[in-house]
Amino acid sequence: MSSIALRTEVPGPRSRELAARRAAVVPRGLVSATPIFVQAARGATITDVDDNVFLDFAGGIGTLNVGSTQPEVVDAIKNQVERFLHTAATVVMYEGYVRVAEALVRLAPGQFQKSALLLNSGAEAIENAVKIARHATGRSAIIVFSHAFHGRTLLTMSMSAKYSTYKAGFGPFAPEVYRLPFPDEYRDVSSRQAIEAFHEALYEEVGADKTAAVVVELVQGEGGFLVAPPDFIAEIREVCSREGILLVVDEVQSGFWRTGRFLASEHYGLEPDLVCLGKSLAAGLPLSAVVGRSEVMDSAQPGGLGGTFAGNPVSCAAALVALDLMERPEFTLRAQAVGEIVRREFDRWHQEIADVGCARGLGAMAAVELVSDRGTKEPATNKADRVLRWSYEHGLITLKAGTYGNIIRFLAPFAVTNAELGEGLAVLEAAIRDA
């Protein structure tokens, strides 16, 4: 039996009516990848206000690894809501905060003493990691990479790429942010070239002794699921350790078993000084974290860190259940199995469909890059738009990524069944072939 069930055209009349009201009161800068409005969501499905059922390969942009509206998470939230909603961790503390911090400190790689700071969003986690790194080192420069995405606040926007979408008109940007090439074998930026550029910039332009942190995504999220080569990361780790620069790994999108392990860092045997987490941590509620070396985390003065809602009790209650579910061996196995199934299909499309220039990723953080010509590798941005549209018109919600907007990425909840996976992949394949 199929999960997708379309009862009206997409968008249906009720979604269209809400879209018109939305256009009157919501700024156009807030774009939605689909024109539908949700009524309910379960596991890996979304039912819209016209009773159409969609398969969800976007997972709220990777926030729903345990599945949408996961029943045990919902129970924990209800239970917490009846006890207390908010005191502010900066006023009256609660055990849930400490328990989430204990879990993250236990799970994060590194044979050293660690601490965890809880916040609301991924951007806030990155902001705080930079604040902490600057305080701990007494240095100001931050090194980031091409195609990076770290958030939409002033500092994290300054640290992000994709100017036309995320930055145009929003300057001036935060100073002391330096962008270096990220390896992209498909587009002829080798690991060796990126390492050379890193050395040259660090010693000839920025100054190693002025650099507080290197902030890197091991698998770039919005950048298009480019996977950092191990030798590139090993070199950065080496240089950072030698020069007293802190290595901050942004695992906001790659964390929580998306790549088949708790963190992508584990595939690299990497021990970041600070790691930033968010998205799937609280199964769909806002919660993020900076986890790292206690001596670094403790450098900030009392009162220097926090936020009114940061680490709120309801999100902590959801996170504790989500972490418990995700830590189970069967969850890891499911994440790995989903990754293998998706990758096998993506690789087959690469063999069979000329427009699929490249299939890549790590575990279930998988993507295909669409090109209009395999020789020139011209990004097929319009085609990617058509694929998204064709997909939702046929019951599949999926997302694009990449500086040129030509990459289709997979971020489905791991609650997806094999039947749903097959159904959704068939729609996506047909969309790519049809578009």
Ligand X SMILES: Cc1ncc(COP(=O)(O)O)c(C=O)c1O
Site of interaction with ligand X (CB under 6 A)? 61, 121-123, 126, 149-151, 217, 221-222, 250, 252-253, 278
The residue (of 166 and 186) whose beta carbon lies closer to ligand X is 166
CB of 160 to ligand X, least distance (A): 8
Using the structure block, give the residue that is written with the tokens 């156009």: 28
d(CA 45, CA 59): 9
CB of 72 to ligand X, least distance (A): 23
Beta strands in 1-63, from DSSP E residues, in sequence order:
38-42, 45-48, 53-56
Using the structure block, give the residue that is written with the tokens 């418990």: 324
The residue (of 262 and 390) whose beta carbon lies closer to ligand X is 262
DSSP annotation string for 136-157:
HHS--EEEEETT----SSHHHH
Do residues 284 and 44 lie in contact, with contact meaning Cβ atoms separated by under 8 Å? Answer: no
CB of 217 to ligand X, least distance (A): 5
Do residues 317 and 79 lie in contact, with contact meaning Cβ atoms separated by under 8 Å? Answer: yes
The residue (of 226 and 432) whose beta carbon lies closer to ligand X is 226
CA distances to 279, 320, 328, 399, 424 from 339, in Å: 19, 25, 17, 17, 14
Q: For 326, list phi and psi in degrees, rounded to 5.
A: -70, -25
CB of 177 to ligand X, least distance (A): 15
The number of CA neighbours under 13 Å toward the Cβ of 107 is 27
The residue (of 56 and 250) whose beta carbon lies closer to ligand X is 250
CB of 51 to ligand X, least distance (A): 30
3-state secondary structure of 24: helix
The residue (of 53 and 335) whose beta carbon lies closer to ligand X is 335
CA distances to 140, 146, 187, 188, 193 from 184, in Å: 28, 10, 5, 6, 10
If one counts every other C-beta atom within 10 angstroms of the C-beta of residue 298, the result is: 13
Helix/strand/coil percent split, the chain, to 5: 45, 20, 35
End-to-end CA distance of the chain: 26
The residue (of 44 and 289) whose beta carbon lies closer to ligand X is 289
The β-bridge partners of 379 are: 371
If one counts every other C-beta atom within 10 angstroms of the C-beta of residue 134, the result is: 19
d(CA 337, CA 306): 38
The residue (of 3 and 65) whose beta carbon lies closer to ligand X is 65
CB of 56 to ligand X, least distance (A): 16
The residue (of 70 and 253) whose beta carbon lies closer to ligand X is 253
Closest chain position to ligand X (CB):
122
The residue (of 137 and 253) whose beta carbon lies closer to ligand X is 253
Gyration radius of the chain's alpha carbons: 21
CB of 295 to ligand X, least distance (A): 25
The H or E element that residue 215 is part of is strand 211-216
Residue type, 397: I
Query: How many residues are given for the chain?
Result: 435
CB of 32 to ligand X, least distance (A): 15
CB of 213 to ligand X, least distance (A): 14
CB of 127 to ligand X, least distance (A): 9
CB of 281 to ligand X, least distance (A): 10
The residue (of 253 and 312) whose beta carbon lies closer to ligand X is 253
The residue (of 141 and 144) whose beta carbon lies closer to ligand X is 144
Using the structure block, give the residue that is written with the tokens 């969800």: 56
